[in-house]
């Protein structure tokens, strides 16, 4: 199964300058739980924005730069190649950025979306729009603000409708 996983603002904002626009520790825990022991596909900028490789995951970095190499990741140059490298796993997660999500949306079976209930006018990267005609919301769990979370957010799970 190919799964897009992202946290987005009300207007599908993902981030600015390769950084998230919020700090949601419970969302980080959920991301870790869902993606651990799986392949994660990401763009080069997303990979370089990580403080270090994420433990217990195989990083597949998609880049147009044919000379790009990194010892902590499998480097590929198109989505088909990325999927072939990850085919031995049941679930493959696409974790960003915006262009990679756009490519992944065409082939994904599922979207794990954390909807942050706020808008962020200075965002420069966005999650692609997707049609509710093509996707079904199968789960929605709200998380209120608290001492560790400045924003209300909702975990949404979407599955592609069968055609």
- Minimum mean pLDDT range among 79-88, 127-136, 140-149: 79-88
pLDDT for res 162: 87
Say whether pLDDT at 42 is over 90: yes
Supply the pTM of this predicted model.
0.95
Count of structural domains within the chain? 1
Q: What is the CATH number of the domain that holds 56?
A: 3.40.430.10
Tokens 């270090």 belong to residue: 52
Q: What is the DSSP letter of 38?
A: S
In three-state form (DSSP H/G/I as H, E/B as E, the rest C), the secondary structure along 89-131 is CCCEEEEECHHHHHHHHCCCCEEEEEEECCCCCCCCEECCCCC
Say whether pLDDT at 32 is over 90: yes
Say whether pLDDT at 93 is over 80: yes
State which residues form the domain around 79: 2-160
- Minimum mean pLDDT range among 58-72, 105-119, 130-144: 58-72
Say whether pLDDT at 148 is over 80: yes
């Amino acid at each position: 199964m190919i799964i897009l996983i992202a946290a987005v603002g009300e207007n599908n904002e993902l981030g600015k300058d390769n950084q998230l626009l919020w700090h949601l520790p419970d969302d980080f825990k959920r991301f870790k739980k869902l993606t651990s022991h799986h392949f994660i596909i990401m763009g080069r900028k997303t990979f370089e924005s990580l403080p270090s490789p994420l433990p217990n995951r195989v990083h597949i970095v998609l880049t147009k730069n044919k000379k790009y190499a990194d010892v902590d990741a499998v480097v590929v140059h198109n989505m088909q190649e990325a999927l072939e490298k990850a085919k031995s796993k049941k679930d493959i997660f696409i974790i960003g950025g915006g262009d990679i999500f756009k490519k992944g949306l065409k082939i994904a079976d599922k979207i794990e979306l954390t909807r942050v209930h706020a808008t962020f006018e200075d965002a420069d990267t966005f999650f692609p729009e997707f049609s509710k005609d093509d996707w079904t919301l199968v789960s929605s769990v709200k998380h209120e603000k608290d001492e560790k979370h400045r924003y209300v957010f909702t975990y949404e799970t979407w599955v592609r409708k069968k055609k």
